[in-house]
Copies of this chain bind each other. A is one copy, B any other.
């Protein structure tokens, strides 16, 4: 097995789908071209983690190789359009300027409005366009899944997982926003957000869906989910660490972006548990401040690190990752799938700080 070959097939399926939509969209009006360009730019990046987990869930459950099986590449790649929708809407909600190292979708449309000197607010035009582009990606994700070419029986088995996954991630994102608004969260509440906004959505459900598409036995499905659940949590905890300490060149986001956005991550909850009252007060006063500068970020980082929260988070990542490996070792699956899933576990949780 080669991760590169799988990635290539997933990319091909994804870009072919968008290319098939292109003429129909432009037949409505040439003025729609900027929507397509913004989507092209976004899809040029991304690690295709969710399609990869879906594909290896399929393989682990006995599905054929990606080059032999009709439809699995497209069904797996449809998750990348779901993710595109989530990212585009997320960036509107968080007022993020960049995504994958490029301007976020709403900023692209905002700039277009300014360049043309159009009427009304440029920011509102940017947000409106991005809301619609995210909607288009959400609709196309389902369309791509349904028209993947997998047979009706496979789709009938996989669709409930696809449906559940969408509900979970949307609900998880609402809870995430709610936690930022309420503040003063607990580790437990932060972990609920992690579970639904990210862990299940990124790893457990893609694996689960892939396995169901392949008609996997309940034993295989359960073994994959037992691997995916802890790995998904470890993945999001790593993402939280990167959101505070990550290199912008790696994350595609400005340094300390999560702090500026006031994300109530497990890392923050750990810090508030461990910090002195003065430190906690400082955190509460600066977290979510859109004006937070490099110095403010450095101060927050220093408190997070000094409190032992960073170490506690790394320990938790190690523990969850180890749980995932343990589940993987005993999973009743073929050895190439086991090896690929072990490599994906590294990719999903590796330290990149």
Contacts and interface: CB of A to CB of B under 8 A. Distances in A.
Contacts of A28: 168, 171-172, 175, 192, 196
Given A131-B93, A163-B143, A119 B182 contact: yes
Interface residues of A, number: 59
B171 A119 contact: no
A174 B118 contact: no
B288 A119 contact: yes
Interface in A168-199: 168, 170-175, 177-178, 180-183, 192, 196
Oligomer copy total: 2
A128 B32 contact: no
Interface of A: 21, 24-25, 28-29, 31-32, 35, 85, 89, 92-93, 95, 113, 116, 118-120, 124-125, 127-129, 131-132, 134-136, 138-140, 142-143, 146-147, 152, 156, 159, 163-164, 166-168, 170-175, 177-178, 180-183, 192, 196, 262, 288
21 contacts: A24-B167, A28-B175, A93-B131, A93-B132, A116-B182, A118-B181, A119-B180, A119-B262, A120-B180, A120-B288, A125-B181, A129-B177, A131-B134, A132-B170, A132-B177, A138-B138, A139-B170, A146-B163, A147-B163, A152-B152, A152-B156
Interchain residue pairs A-B with the least CB separation, the first 3: A93-B128, A118-B181, A139-B166
